[in-house]
Amino acid sequence: MRGQVPRRTIFAFIGPAVIGLAAVGIAPLLYAAWTSAHFYNLTKLKRVEFLGFENYWTVLTDEVFWQAMGRTFFLLGTALPLQIALGLGIALVLHQPGLTLVKTLARLSLVLPMATTYAVVGLLGQVMFNQKFGVVNQLLGGADINWIGDPQNAFAMIVFWDVWQWTPFVALVLLAGLTMVPGEVEEAARLETKSKWIVLRYVQLPFLVPGLVAVLILRTADTLKLFDMVFTLTRGGPGSSTEFISLMIQRVGFRGFDQGLASAQAIILLIITIVLAQIYIRVFYKEV
Amino acid sequence: MKTLRNLLGTAAVASFIATGAAVADDDWSLKKAAEPYAGTTIDVVFLLRPGYEAIEAMLPEFEAETGIKVNVIKHPYENALGEQVRDFVAGGDLDIALIDLVWIGNFAENDWIIPLADVQAKFPDVVDPDLDIDDFFPLVLNAFGGWNDTLYGLPFDNYSGLMFYNRCMLEEAGFDGPPETWQELKDTYGPALTKDGKYAFALQSKRNETQSADSFARMLWPFGGSFLDDEFKSNLMSDESQAGLKFRQELMEYMPDGIVAYDHAETVNGFSQGDIAMITEWSAFYSSVVSPETSKVADCVEIAPEPTGPAGRKPALGGFSLAVASQADEAEQAAAYLFIQWATSKANAREYLERGGVPARQSVYQEDGLEDFKFVPALVESWQDGVPEFRPRFAEWPEITEIVQEWGTKMMLGEVSTEEGAQEIGTRMEAVLDAAGYYSGDKPLAQ
Amino acid sequence: MMTTRSYWSQIALLALIILVCVFPFYWMVTTSLKTQVVALESPPVWLFEPTLANYREALFEDGVLRTLINSLIIAISTTLLALVLGVPAAFALARFEFRGKKDLWFWFITNRMVSPIVLALPFFLIARNLSLLDKHITLILIYLTFNLPIVIWIVTDQFRGIPYDLDEAARLEGASQFTIMRKICLPLAMPGVAVSAIFSFIFSWNELMFGLILTRTEAKTAPAMAVSFMEGYNLPYGKIMATSTLIVIPVLIFALIASKQLVRGLTMGAVK
C-alpha cells in the first residue's frame, strides 16, 4: 500500500523538525501563557503575583488595544487592494509579448523591494519623506507636505512603503498565474472578443485565484507581524496614528516592561492569527 | 568665652582633619589606588550625546593611568533604559549603571545599584580624599544620584532646561532681549516672529520621553501644576495643571506644523538652520548650536534661563548619574567606582567642560575664562533652585511616561481635549500607582 | 502587430516600474555619500562632491563590519539547520500516510504567520534563564520559527510533484526510505530546496526584532546596528544610509543572482 511505513521511520523523518520547532515555538508560548496569568513586570520581579485572567480582561476591555487592532486591519484593507490592482496591472503589462529585454529588466527590479531589509525601508522613508530636506516633497514640485508629523499623512506614508515593497510580490505571483493559462485558450478567446476585460474575467481569472488566495494569506499574516518598517519610520506616531498591533505589544512589554500584560496581548493576537489562518487555509487549501 | 573656646576647638579639629586629608592627599594617587585592579574590564552604556563624546575623548588617559579597560556600549537614549533593564534582569555584564534621573527609583528599588557609601566602605583605598562631594550642586546631586535619602550615583551628564534664542532674529523683529515670561513669549514674541515660514518657538514633543519631559512637564510646573498631589492622586485636572496644558495648545500656533514629530534633533536642527527663533532645550546642546559645522546661526546664539510662569521659574531638570552595579564582581565594582569618581572629579571638570560636557561641579563655574560658555550663568541660576520631582523619579515612571506620551501627543493633535486627555492619564496613572501599593500604604509616598 | 503608440506606452510603463523600484536605492546610496551638511540641504541637492567618510566611520569606528559578519554567520547557520530538519520532514509529509498529518502540516505552516512579538517576550525570558542572551545560537534557533515553515511548505510541495513510481522501483530493489529520499527524490527536488534556502537566508538576514531584543554586543546583527544610530539628539543621515547600504546591497545582489529561483519560490506554494 502506498505510503504505509513503520511509525519509527515516520518519526525519524519528522521527529527532529517537530521537536526543534516545538522547542523554539511552543515552549515560549507556554511560558507566555504563564506570564500572562501573572503580574510580571521586568522592573518589579520582586513582586510576581498570580492574577488569573485579570490581564486578559484588561486587554479585552482596553479600547487602545482594539484601536491598534482596528488600525492594523485598516492598513491591510487600504494597502492590499492597491497592491492587487497595481500588481495585476504590472503582471498584465509584463505578460504582453515583445520587448523581452526591458521586461527582463523590469522583472529583475521587481525583486529588489521585496528583498530589502524592512528596517532599512523605514530609515529610507525618514530620509526621503522629510518635510524639509526630503526628496519626495521636491519631486512633488517643492511641496511643503508634512509627512511624518501629521497623523493622516504618516499613515499614507506607511501605506506607500507597504505598497512599494509588496506590490512586486503580488505582480510576480499573478504573472506566474497568467503564464499558466494555456496559450491556445487565450488566443481563441482573443479571437472571440476584443474586450480585454472579458478575457481577463473569464479566461485568465480562474488561473489567478490560487495566487490571489496566497497573497491574501501572506499579506494578512505579514500585516499582523508588521513591526520593523514602522518602528524605524514613525515608531507608531504621531500620536498613535501608526501604532499597529505588534508595535503596541512591543511598547507594553519592552518599554513599559509589563510582560504579563504584553503576553496576554500577544496571546490574543496569536489566537486571532490562528483563527484567520485556519479559515484561510481550510477554505482555500482543501488538499494535503 | 566657653562658646569661643568651643568654636576654636571645632576649628582646630577641622583644620586637623584638613591637614590629615592633605597628608593622605600626597599618598593617594589614581595610579596607586588602581593597582590591584589593573587589567579589569568594565562595561558601561553610553549615549550618543556630547557629554559622552567628551569623556570618551578623555578615556585613554584614564586607561593608561589605571590599566582598567572601559568597554563602552553606545545606545540611543530611547533604547538605553530597555537595554539596561534587560541586562540587569538577566544578570548581564554591565558594571556601571547609567541612570537618567527618572530611572533612579526603579534601579534602586531593584537593588541593581549599590549605595555610594557602601562601595566606599567596601573599598576604602580607592576613595579619593579630594572627592569633595559638597562641591556638586546639591540639587543636582540629590536629584540625579539620590533616592530615599541614599546617594547611589554621581552626576555625570547634567542638564538644565535653558532658553536658546536667536539674537539676530529677535533684533530684526524689534526685541532687544528674550521674553521674561511664558505669557510674553506667546502674546508678544509669538505673533511677531512667526511669519514667512519661520516660527517663534518650538517645543520638542515627539511621543518619546521628550513628550513627557520636554513638553508636558515643562508646561505644568510654571503654571503651578504637577503630576501628583500630596496623596499621590492625579493633579492633572487641577486648574493650574489645566492652565498649563491649555497654554501649550495655544502656544502651538507659533510652532512648526507636526511639532508632535519633533524630537531634540529636529528642534535643534530647526533652530540651527535659522527657521526657529527660540527653543527651550537642554544645556547639553550648547556645543552643537554654536559650532559652525552644524549651525548656520552660530554667531547669533544667546542663552537665557527658561521664561517664568505664574508659579515662577520652573525650568526642566534632567540628567544622568553613574552608579556601581551590584551584579559586577568585586574587582569590577572597585574599578567601576574609580572610573565614576574620575569622570565626575573636580580635577577633570574643566577639561570635560571644554570638550563639550556639562559638569555638575560648582567650583568649575567659578573659574576664570568661561566667557565662551554662554550658558553658564543661566545654568548656574537654574540649578540653584529647581523641582527634583519635575518628573516623578519613582519606580513606576517608565510605565507612567508611556501613558503621558500617548495621551499628551493626542492632546496636542486635538484628538482629545486637555480635560479628556488629563482624565485619561489620571485614571491610568492612578491604576499603576494603586497596583504598586501606594494607596494601601504598602509603599511610602516618595517621588 | 503592435501599434507604435501602444509600443511606446508600454515602454513608458515599464520604465516607470523600473524607476519606482530602483529610485529609493539610488537615493539611499547618494545620501550615504553626503556629508551631514549636504544631506540636510533644503531642497535636497542631486550633484555634490561625494565622500566615503560615512562608510569609513560606520565600518571601522562603529563596528558595523562585525555586525555584518554576525548577520552572515547567523543567516547561513539557521538556513542550513532549517534544511537539515525541514527536508526529511517535508519528505515524510509528502510521501507517508499517518494520522494527524494534516494538522501537523497546518501547525508547521501556522508558525510562519505568528508575529515575532508573540515569541520575543517569552523567548527573552527563557534565554535569560539559560544564559543564552547575546549568543549567535539563540538567533539561529529562534529564526527556525519562520525558516522551518518555509522549507516545509515549499519542499513538501516539490516532493509531491515527483512521480511516485520512481521510489516504488527503488523500494523493490530494497532501498530504505532514507536512501530513496537522498538518492532519488532530493536531486529532483533540488530547485525547491534551493528556493527555500534563498528565502530562509533573506528573511534571516533582514530580521530586526529578535536581533534587537536578544542581542547586545557579541551577536548584534546588522539591522539592529542600523537602528542604533537613531538618537534623538542628532541624526547622522549619511551614516545611517551608509549602514543601510552595507546591509542591503549584499542581499540585493544575492536576490538578483537568484531571482529566477526566487520568483519560482514565490509562486510555488501560491499558484499550485
Tell me: pLDDT of B1 over 50: no
pLDDT at B7 over 70: no
> Is B207 near chain A, with CB under 8 Å?
yes
Rounded Cα–Cα distance for residues B225 and B245 (Å): 9
For residue A172, the chain C residue with the least C-alpha distance is: C263
Contact map slice: C 70-129 vs B, CB within 8 A: 124, 128
- CB–CB contact B208 C235 (8 Å): no
- Residue B301: CA atoms inside 13 Å, Cβ hemisphere, count? 28
Interface residue of B48, B98, B296 to substitute, partner C, most C CBs within 10 Å: B48
A143 touches chain B (CB under 8 A): no
Q: Using CA atoms, how far apart are residues A197 and A53, in angstroms rounded to an integer?
A: 54
> Across the interface, which of A131, A237, A254 has its CB nearest the CB of B409?
A237
Read off the pTM. Answer: 0.89
A82 touches chain C (CB under 8 A): no
DSSP 3-state of B406: helix
Is C216 within 8 Å of B92 when comparing Cβ atoms?
A: yes
Q: What pLDDT score was predicted for residue A285?
A: 62
**Which of B206, B210, B265 lies nearest to residue C234, judging by beta carbons?**
B265
pLDDT attached to residue A66: 96
Buried b / exposed e over A119-158, threshold 16 CB at 10 Å, is: bbbbbbbbbbbbbbbbbbbbeeeeeebbbbbbbebbbebb
* Per-residue pLDDT reduced to its tens digit, B398-429: 899 999 999 999 999 999 999 999 999 999 99
Spatial distance between the Cα atoms of A144 and A131, rounded to a whole number of angstroms:
6
Contact B144, B358 (CB under 8 A): no
Instruction: Tell how strand B41-47 and strand B69-75 pair up.
Output: parallel
CA B136-B139-B145 angle, to 5 degrees, is 70
Are C228 and B79 within 8 A, CB to CB? yes
* CA contacts within 13 A on the Cβ side of B444: 7
Closest CA to C190 of C111, C253, C264: C264
- C112 exposure class (CB count in 10 Å sphere: 0-12, 13-18, 19+): buried
Instruction: Tell me how far CA of residue B49 lies from CA of A19, A198, B54, C125, in angstroms.
Output: 47, 63, 9, 31
Q: Is C99 exposed, middle or buried (0-12, 13-18, 19+ CB in 10 A)?
A: exposed
Interface of A with C in 201-240 (CB under 8 A): 210-211, 213-215, 217, 220-221, 224-225, 227-228, 231-232
Interchain contact C235–B (C-beta under 8 A): yes
Grid coordinates representing A45 are 520581579
For residue B278, the cross-strand partners are: B165, B201
- Within 8 A by CB and 6+ apart from C137, the residues are none
Query: Residues of C with CB below 8 A from B79's CB?
Result: 227-228
CB contact under 8 A, C89 and A16: yes
- C270 against B392, higher pLDDT: B392
CB neighbour class for B5 (10 Å; exposed up to 12, middle 13-18, buried from 19): exposed
Whether residue B152 contacts residue B321, with contact meaning beta carbons closer than 8 Å, is answered with yes
8 Å CB contact of C234 and B288: yes
Amino acid in the structure at residue C45 = V
E strand segments, B230-388: 276-282, 301-305, 317-324
CB C132 within 8 A of CB C138: yes
Q: Does B72 touch chain C (CB under 8 A)?
A: no
Task: Return the SS3 of B201.
Answer: strand
Selected residues 211-230 of chain B with any CB under 8 Å from a CB in chain C: none
Residue whose C-alpha is closest to residue C62's, from B40, B76, B99? B76
Neighbors of chain C with 3 or more C-beta pairs under 8 Å: A, B
Task: Say which residue, B62 or A284, is predicted with more confidence.
Answer: B62
Q: pLDDT tens, position by position, for chain C (272 residues)?
A: 556 777 888 899 999 999 999 999 999 999 999 988 888 888 898 999 999 999 998 998 888 999 999 999 999 999 999 999 999 999 999 888 888 888 898 888 888 878 888 888 788 888 888 888 889 999 999 999 999 998 998 898 888 888 888 778 888 888 888 888 888 888 888 888 988 999 899 999 999 999 988 988 889 999 999 888 876 666 788 999 999 999 999 899 988 988 888 777 766 655 44
Q: Does B272 contact chain C (CB < 8 Å)?
A: no
Work out the number of other CB atoms within 10 angstroms of the CB of residue B36: 15
Q: What are phi and psi of B97, to 5 degrees?
A: -100, 135
What is the average per-residue pLDDT within B246-267?
A: 93
Contact assessment for residue C158 and residue C191, using Cβ atoms and an 8 Å cutoff: yes
Contacts of B412 in chain A (CB under 8 A): 239
Task: Taking residues B220-224, report their average pLDDT.
Answer: 94
| Helix H or strand E segment including B158 | strand B154-166
User: Looking at the complex, does the CB of residue A155 fall below 8 Å from at least one CB of chain B?
Assistant: no
Other CB atoms closer than 10 Å to residue C234's CB: what's the count?
19
Residuewise pLDDT in 10s, chain A (288 residues): 355 678 888 889 999 999 999 999 889 999 999 999 999 998 888 888 899 899 999 999 999 999 999 999 999 999 999 999 999 999 999 988 888 899 999 999 999 999 999 999 999 999 999 988 899 999 998 888 989 989 999 999 999 999 999 999 999 989 988 888 888 888 888 888 888 888 888 888 888 888 888 888 889 989 999 999 999 999 887 889 999 999 999 999 988 899 999 999 999 999 998 888 788 777 776 544
User: Which chain C residues are within 8 Å of A138, Cβ to Cβ?
Assistant: 43-44
CB count within 10 Å of CB C24 equals 23
Element containing residue B100 per DSSP (H, E):
strand B94-100
Report CB contact under 8 Å: A28, C22.
no
Average pLDDT, chain B: 89
Residue for grid cell 496566497? A214
- On whether the CB atoms of residues A265 and A40 are closer than 8 A, the answer is no
The span from the CA of B426 to the CA of B408, in Å, is 12
> What residues contact residue A186 under an 8 Å CB cut-off, 6+ apart?
A199, A203, A204
- Cα–Cα distance for residue pair B233/C74, rounded to 1 Å: 50
How much is the pLDDT for C152?
92
pLDDT at position B11? 41
Is the predicted pLDDT of residue B5 greater than 60, yes or no? no
How distant is the Cα of A152 from the closest Cα of chain C, in angstroms? 22
Q: Which residues of C44-68 are buried (b: 16+ CB within 10 A; e: fewer)?
A: beeeeeeeeebbebbbeebebebbb
Strands (E) located in B256-413: 276-282, 301-305, 317-324
> Does A99 contact C at CB distance below 8 Å?
yes
3-state secondary structure at position A50: strand
Cα A148-A154-A158 angle, rounded to 5 deg: 120
Cβ B324 vs Cβ B123: under 8 Å:
no
Q: Give me the mean pLDDT over the B123-130 stretch.
A: 93
| Secondary element (H or E) of residue B287 | helix B286-289
Q: Chain B: nearest CA to C127, how far in angstroms? A: 9
Q: Tell me, what's the pLDDT at B382?
A: 86
Q: Could you tell me the pLDDT band of residue B19, with boundaries at 50, 70 and 90?
A: very low
CA B118/CA B330 separation, integer angstroms: 12
Cβ contacts (< 8 Å) between A255 and chain B: which residues? 81-82, 398, 402
Q: Do B207 and A148 touch (CB under 8 A)?
A: no
CB contact under 8 A, B73 and C37: no
> In the prediction, which pLDDT does A1 show?
39
- Residue A3: the pLDDT is 56
Task: Tally DSSP H helices, then E strands, for chain A.
Answer: 14, 2
